[in-house]
A = this chain, B = another copy of it.
């Protein structure tokens, strides 16, 4: 349940204050990509915040990506260099934000959540974007750089967003973050299939806990990914000057993907509920079967035991001829056995006919 904990500053802290958090984390790394001209891409890994400044002042389109969680100090430095709004910078530091979009004069600020599966557990990493007409700054917490491939492709040429402007670059990165939902959900789909098979074969006792865990992860995932859809929708609707007309179809494509992700989550939730129903149905049916068969067995033997007990009574046959004369009959015992067999058969037949056995 740990990924609930929101990282918020102490109560009463004025908004926009950057409060350092003291947790052991891997160091953060800054990568700068500068689109010098139509053909050249400059990529600098592990650059210092200070070294970014000359690139900003140049006319060329610049993308600065910060992987990991920067310190409050370097965030402040970056924020000042790029003239980022202090409230937005605070949201980058205090990760666990709800996905959202904000526009501060001539600057877009977007927060998304990147779902990852690490050691069979879904974790969510906050990805933040700042964009104006000439640069894009992205932040991604956690150790895994989601834009590794994108940079490689930029260096290699081919389908390259550089001559399409900063809004197209933004789209590529949004698309990358949103589409990450598909493999995560595919994982859930496979898990659902496995669980269904397990229920049908009845092998595993821990199945109930697994379904409940799955449901809980879907609840949490939905809570975080649902506003993502709204973010892209608002980007489409707001008619920002930063987004050019030819980029809209691509963003609509992005929007479609967010809807598909939500659709899958909803469907998987319904299917998990349905699996629970099936599980309880099968447990219930099995229990009913057991109890019915056992009770029928008991019920058959109880009258027989009574008859046996009857002829185990010690009435004095010498006192009168009315006292258990059956005991003295020459065929008494076989007769009683016969009666017992008949009673048992009769009851079996009755139960069979009633369809109870």
Contact = CB atoms under 8 A, between A and B. Distances in A.
Nearest to A305: B306
Contacts of A278: 208-209, 212
Interface of A: 1, 4-6, 8, 11-12, 14-17, 85, 87, 97-98, 100, 102, 104, 149-150, 153, 159, 161, 171-172, 175-176, 179-180, 182-183, 186, 189, 192-193, 196, 202, 208-209, 212, 215-216, 219-220, 223, 249-250, 252-253, 256, 259-260, 263-264, 266-267, 270-271, 274, 276-278, 281, 283, 285, 287-288, 290-292, 294-299, 301-306, 308-317, 319-320, 322-324, 326-334, 336, 354-356
Nearest to A310: B308
The dominant DSSP class at the A interface is helix
A176 B333 contact: no
Contact of A334 (B15, B97, B180, B322): B322
11 contacts: A4-B267, A12-B176, A208-B281, A208-B285, A290-B292, A298-B299, A306-B308, A308-B313, A313-B336, A319-B328, A323-B329
B15 A175 contact: yes
Given A159-B17, A274-B212, A260 B182 contact: no
A180 B11 contact: yes
Given A11-B183, A179-B8, A312-B309, A263 B192 contact: no
Contacts of A283: 285, 288
